[in-house]
Amino acid sequence: MLLIVIVFQIAMRGVLVAGRRAAYKQAEARRAKRREEERAGASLDSAGEGSPVVPDEPEIDVVTVSQQTRGILLATSFVLLAILLWKIWSGLIPALGIFNDIVLWSSVGTTSAGQVVTAVTLGNVLLAVALLGLTVIAARNLPGFLEVVVLHRFEIDSGSRYAYVSITRYLILAVGLVLAFSHIGADWSKLQWIIAALGVGLGFGLQEIVANFVSGIIILFERPVRVGDLITIDDTVGTVTRIQIRAITITDPDNFEVLVPNKAFITRSVKNWSLTNPVTRLVVKVGIGYGSDVALAQKAMLDIARANEQVLESPAPVVLFLGFGDSSLNLELRVFVGRIEQRLPTLHSLHVAVLDAFNKAGIEIPFPQRDVHLHGLAAIDPGGQGSGKSPDQGNELPSPAKF
């Protein structure tokens, strides 16, 4: 008992120190995130779009970590103490053996030697209940323990830590349930038929829910989208604000929340604007009138792009003369920006600067022009007065007029 108490206190002290280190790292990450959100918010406000509120990923503070770790360590200590005391005093306390003498039901199991009848006693049921309780305690208190003791020691981002914790929780629940049922006679040889029947039923009735659940697990492992990513799926464009086991929440530029099933991210084509590289390209298309100085227009557009603070120097901006249009010579300015939220403000400033530069240089931006020919239009006297003829008499068809 003294040894268990000493180990328990040492473990709690180590977890407390690790929790303080994790809290310090989280505080630094929060400050960096606030600065980034302020810059992004300023860019989005200037573009007339609302910044989607991305919920903060759950952070484990020192108090919560201490409580969760204390629960795990206490449960482990009590189990270890009970095992040791039972090994020492089992011969001195024969009365406890009465739980193994009370047979509740019998279980028939299949082994290599054939079918074996096993008695399920009250002791087996109590042990199964204890295993279920320990499983619930471990699954509930796992996040803080893993976050501080294990995951914060490695260079893993918050999204990956969330995925690891979620998968580990599912594994603990699955293993705990299998062990608990095995002690009451429901071993795998019997459960496999029930699981197979449930699989057939789910395949017909709840196949979409199962497909979304499995797709959610794949997304947690593969991570094709993350919280905060700007994505395009079908006709929906927005920022990922929440990833759940059944659906992913996307907030569009109008601040509407759209729930997209996880299956869509596995089976459909998804455009992630910031998965590995936030640098994106902007294209400014403009036409100049025939007879304009193309070289002067190209130079003016390049100077505008190089003077813009949001335009990256590498890849360098470029102006291309792409073709001869019906009414204009078609030019394109291609530039790159470093962040997604800078796209619309940069596009706006480039448009304004190009229009102002062309006006100062006398370069015409033409509009479409068409020649309209009208045939068979009669010169009709509106009142039919002064000629003594009816409006339908004496009218002559003029020659085709050009306007």
Please state the domain count of the chain. Answer: 3
Burial of 234 (0-12, 13-18, 19+ CB in 10 A): exposed
Q: Could you say which DSSP state residue 142 is in?
A: H
Does residue 372 sit within a domain?
Answer: no
Same domain? For 150 and 105 the reply is yes
Does residue 208 sit within a domain?
Answer: no
**Which amino acid would we find at residue 185?**
G
Same domain? For 268 and 287 the reply is no
- Domain closes at, from 165, 184, 203: 184
Does residue 398 sit within a domain?
Answer: no
Q: How far is CA 219 from CA 169, 266, 313, in A?
A: 16, 8, 35
Same domain? For 290 and 149 the reply is no
Does residue 30 sit within a domain?
Answer: yes
- Residue 397 — φ and ψ, nearest 5°? -80, 120
Same domain? For 6 and 133 the reply is yes
Does residue 136 sit within a domain?
Answer: yes
Same domain? For 17 and 122 the reply is yes
Same domain? For 12 and 133 the reply is yes
Same domain? For 156 and 302 the reply is no
Same domain? For 237 and 292 the reply is no
- Residue 251 — φ and ψ, nearest 5°? -100, 120
Going residue by residue through the chain, which has 403 residues, state the pLDDT in tens, using 9 for 90 and above: 888 888 878 877 777 777 677 677 767 777 776 776 666 555 544 444 444 444 444 455 556 666 667 777 777 788 788 778 777 776 666 665 666 666 666 666 666 666 666 677 777 777 788 888 888 877 777 766 676 666 666 666 655 666 677 777 778 888 888 787 777 766 656 666 666 766 666 666 667 777 888 888 788 777 888 877 888 888 888 888 888 778 888 988 888 889 999 888 888 888 888 788 888 899 999 999 888 899 999 999 999 999 998 899 888 999 999 999 888 899 999 999 988 888 888 999 999 999 999 999 899 888 877 778 887 766 555 555 545 554 444 445 454 444 4
Same domain? For 329 and 232 the reply is no
- Alpha-carbon distance 309 to 301, whole Å? 15
- Domain closes at, from 272, 293, 315: 272
Q: Which residues span the domain enclosing 316?
A: 280-361
**Tokens representing 235?**
């006709």
DSSP 183-195: TTT--HHHHHHHH
Under a CB-based contact definition with an 8 Å cutoff, are residues 234 and 268 in contact? yes
Q: How far is CA 62 from CA 19, 24, 33, in A?
A: 5, 10, 20
Same domain? For 261 and 131 the reply is no
| CATH at 287 | 3.30.70.100
Under a CB-based contact definition with an 8 Å cutoff, are residues 289 and 249 in contact? no
Determine the straight-line distance between the first and last CA of the chain, rounded to whole angstroms.
106
- Alpha-carbon distance 51 to 136, whole Å? 39
Same domain? For 143 and 8 the reply is yes
Same domain? For 174 and 243 the reply is no
**Which amino acid would we find at residue 56?**
D
- The residues that bridge with 320 in the sheet, in sequence order, are 332
pLDDT of residue 336: 93
Does residue 340 sit within a domain?
Answer: yes
Under a CB-based contact definition with an 8 Å cutoff, are residues 292 and 324 in contact? no
Does residue 116 sit within a domain?
Answer: yes
DSSP 3-state assignment of 282?
Answer: strand
- Domain closes at, from 272, 290, 321: 272
SS (H, E, C) 171-182: HHHHHHHHHHHH
Under a CB-based contact definition with an 8 Å cutoff, are residues 294 and 328 in contact? no
**R_g (Cα) of the chain, nearest Å:** 37
pLDDT of residue 354: 93
Q: How far is CA 400 from CA 50, 258, 286, 395, in A?
A: 56, 58, 36, 15
Does residue 247 sit within a domain?
Answer: yes
